[in-house]
Amino acid sequence: MVPAYESLEAALSAQQTYVAALPQWVHMWMGWMEFTFLSSFWFLLARVEARWVLATAVATFFGSLLVGYLFGWSDLWGAVHILLWTPLLVYLWRRRPPLSQGSGFAVWVHLLMATIVISLAFDIVDVAGWLGGML
| pLDDT score of 123 more than 70 | yes
47: which DSSP letter? -
pTM for the model stands at 0.88
7: left (phi over 0), alpha (psi -120 to 50) or beta: beta
Q: Where are the alpha helices (DSSP H) in the chain?
A: 8-20, 24-38, 48-71, 78-95, 104-134
pLDDT band, residue 2 (cuts 50/70/90)? low
Round to whole Å and give the CA distance between 12 and 51: 27
Round to whole Å and give the CA distance between 84 and 26: 20
**pLDDT tens across 31-81, in order?**
999 999 999 999 999 999 999 999 999 999 999 988 888 888 888 889 999
